[in-house]
Amino acid sequence: MKIERVEIITRSLSGRCPNCGGFGMFKNWFRLNKRCTDCDMQLEKEESGFYFGTTSIGYVLAIIIVIIPICILAVLDKIGMWTGVTIGIVGSILLCVLLYPLLLSWVIMSYFVVCPQELPENTTDAKD
Ligand SMILES: [Zn+2]
């Protein structure tokens, strides 16, 4: 295979296309292009629920990074209950919004780390 798993991971962690390493994946902050503008790899797979995966990763991160520390602080009486609730709600939403592009590329990464042979660069070997 031309592109190894390590390369897929390093590219995706920095928000780049796992196939070509370019920045052509994003249409805007919340949307992927249907295809990468650099290498034309298909990014939007209707049947596989990329976006559902994105929001699930967001929830898990929000719970680990925001909700759990706030619960601990509230239990320890470091912050008031309503302060904690407010920070928890605002913090979780902010976290998901700010990290959304990364979450999108991480969902794509998790897919191609499992099936690296489905990258176009890894399937066109035979032709050249
Ligand atoms: Zn690409």
Q: What is the pLDDT of the chain when averaged over all its residues?
A: 88
Compute the distance from residue 105 Cα to the ligand 1 centre, in Å: 12
Q: What is the Å distance from ligand 1's center to 58 Cα?
A: 24
How many C-beta atoms surround the C-beta of residue 20 within 10 A? 20
Query: Which residue type, as a one-letter code, is found at position 62?
Result: A
pLDDT for the residue numbered 125: 56
Tell me, what's the pLDDT at 52? 60
Look at residue 64 in the predicted model and tell me its pLDDT. 93
What pLDDT, on a 0 to 100 scale, did the predictor assign at position 57?
A: 82
Confidence of residue 50 (pLDDT cuts 50, 70, 90): low
98, exposed or middle or buried, with CB in 10 Å at 0-12, 13-18, 19+? exposed
Does residue 4 carry a pLDDT above 60? Answer: yes
What's the 37 CA to ligand 1 centre distance in angstroms?
A: 7
CA 34/CA 118 separation, integer angstroms: 16
| Residue that wins the pLDDT comparison between 46 and 93 | 93
Angstrom distance (rounded) from CA 124 to CA 106: 24
Out of 41-50, 53-62, 86-95, pick the least confident.
41-50
Cα of 70 vs centre of ligand 1, distance in Å, is 39
How far, in Å, CA of 105 to CA of 109, rounded? Answer: 6
Q: What is the mean pLDDT of residues 80-96?
A: 94
